[in-house]
Chains A and B, each alone.
Chain A
């Protein structure tokens, strides 16, 4: 489903954010991407939904070879990928409902289907009551849940969540991870970039550790042990 071969990413300011990344994630996989701040988690996710283009190396996502991907095809790639952005990226002048409906509008879905689907994902993140509010009227945690609901709206093949529990209390974080797990069992490939040690440990999923832009560990059913050799200490 997702493959990276020999990927390097150097930003225009010469920050070498990712070094020689080789990563293969099966369809239906669930991966925790962990690493200290600045280790390159967000950059790696951006490569997958093609916000960034690798300086060298190849990336394949579903049926797309991203190096060959025509500009006009990019929206179609992105509709297969639900992204929970680290900074949410909700449209500030649209209500929560409209924000979620937007990603369905762009696909040309029928309005009654849109209505049904938005209601459903709002229920999934318990935000039904706040659907008519603007993002600015919501707490950080609520905005995060709205952003998750939007990422799920299109029933994406792939779900990328960038520190989705960053603004949530432990209980809500736990519920969220359960939700991601449920989405995963229904067939969606899930990648979660996170700092949250207890969740990584409890979930017993595959863990990929980034350290200064390199993959330091890539193990099935690993626990995250902060002081293990080579692994970074997390907050």
Chain B
């Protein structure tokens, strides 16, 4: 097999040259597939990071009773940190809570207006994931010294659903596009294989084993898949940085992932997909004629 490689590669070169039109057709099909899949990958990755970012802003507030001592508070903080699903626990004094409030209200209220600070001390608990938040809040409610627990139940739920939805919808779309393109690519390749069915028959009759006939076709498919994927990668890599800046400008509250962060993974995925679809497409179509 390794010894046959130079022969196979020459076969690939000659066959592609012989059939320029079909070669271009296969490459374009893979390229379009790679563009669509790449596009969805980029959307999914961005939605995922968006969901993650929002999750990190989801925190549980455990308001402490005013009777609690400093030592009891520290004990409570330790116990909460030890809970499963807790990422961090932070003590927020009533003074700091007021400062935060003022900041949020854009300094429209001043300390002197209020007189005595009405806010309680509280512990701010960051959950490891949005899914855990309700369960955690329930547990924390029963700790001694905790007056009241506040968390954004509905927002958490929505983020969890969104996360699951983008995952399953994204994967479904990618699977459908993959199967659809595999079908189109193997049909395109099948046209070239069909044109060569007599040659395939002759090769068998003069003693070629099926694998010997099959490999050049598979290499040809892989090469075409690779070229198609690379073409799509070049386009995506040129378009994404420009588009993401434009989108960011018009919708300022969304933070799109920077190109360097997202494109490498997308590129590698597309290369693997291109190679895979080319190899599989060739394999399927050439096998049809090898069995005759």
Are B4 and A103 within 8 A (Cβ)? no
Q: What class of interface size applies to chain B in its complex with A?
A: 10 to 19
- Scan residues 192-207 of chain B and give those whose CB is less than 8 A from a CB of chain A: 199, 202-207
Are A106 and B207 within 8 A (Cβ)? yes
Q: Does B264 contact A (CB under 8 A)?
A: no
Interface of B is mostly: helix
Q: Does B209 contact A (CB under 8 A)?
A: yes
The answer to whether residues A89 and B205 also contact, given A105-B4, A108-B4 and a CB cut-off of 8 A, is: yes
Are B206 and A103 within 8 A (Cβ)? yes
Distance to closest chain A CB from B21 (angstroms): 15
Distance to closest chain A CB from B77 (angstroms): 71
Task: Please choose the segment from A75-83, A163-171, A224-232 that sits at the chain B interface, where 4 or more of its residues have CB less than 8 A away.
Answer: A75-83
In the bound complex, what is the Cα–Cα distance between A105 and B208 (angstroms)? 9
Q: Does B253 contact A (CB under 8 A)?
A: no
Are B203 and A102 within 8 A (Cβ)? yes
Q: Does A51 contact B (CB under 8 A)?
A: yes
Q: Does B212 contact A (CB under 8 A)?
A: yes
Are B207 and A93 within 8 A (Cβ)? no
B203 touches which of A51, A74, A91, A108 (Cβ 8 Å):
A91
Question: Which chain B residues border A85 with CB–CB below 8 Å?
Answer: 205
Are B18 and A83 within 8 A (Cβ)? no
Question: Which chain B residues border A91 with CB–CB below 8 Å?
Answer: 199, 202-203
Distance to closest chain B CB from A98 (angstroms): 9
Question: Which chain A residues border B7 with CB–CB below 8 Å?
Answer: 105
Question: Which chain A residues border B208 with CB–CB below 8 Å?
Answer: 75, 102, 106
Distance to closest chain B CB from A158 (angstroms): 12
In the bound complex, what is the Cα–Cα distance between A83 and B205 (angstroms)? 9
Are A154 and B202 within 8 A (Cβ)? no
Question: Which chain B residues border A106 with CB–CB below 8 Å?
Answer: 203, 206-209, 212
Are B207 and A154 within 8 A (Cβ)? yes
Q: Does A198 contact B (CB under 8 A)?
A: no
Distance to closest chain A CB from B6 (angstroms): 8
- Scan residues 39-75 of chain A and give those whose CB is less than 8 A from a CB of chain B: 49, 51, 72, 74-75
In the bound complex, what is the Cα–Cα distance between A89 and B202 (angstroms)? 6
Are A93 and B14 within 8 A (Cβ)? yes
Question: Which chain A residues border B118 with CB–CB below 8 Å?
Answer: none
- Scan residues 83-102 of chain A and give those whose CB is less than 8 A from a CB of chain B: 83, 85, 89-93, 102
Are B205 and A102 within 8 A (Cβ)? no
Are B207 and A75 within 8 A (Cβ)? yes
B205 touches which of A49, A107, A108 (Cβ 8 Å):
A49
Q: What are 25 A-B pairs with beta-carbon distances under 8 A? A: A49-B205, A51-B205, A74-B204, A75-B207, A75-B208, A78-B206, A78-B207, A85-B205, A89-B205, A89-B206, A90-B202, A91-B199, A91-B202, A92-B199, A93-B18, A102-B208, A103-B206, A106-B203, A106-B207, A106-B208, A106-B209, A106-B212, A108-B3, A108-B4, A150-B206
A interface residues (Cβ-Cβ under 8 A, vs B): 49, 51, 72, 74-76, 78-79, 83, 85, 89-93, 102-103, 105-108, 150, 154
Could you list 13 further interchain pairs (A-B, Cβ under 8 angstroms) beyond the known A91-B199, A105-B4?
A49-B205, A72-B210, A74-B204, A75-B208, A75-B209, A78-B205, A78-B207, A91-B203, A93-B18, A102-B206, A106-B206, A106-B208, A150-B206
Top-9 shortest CB links A-B: A79-B207, A78-B207, A106-B208, A75-B209, A89-B202, A103-B206, A75-B207, A106-B207, A91-B199
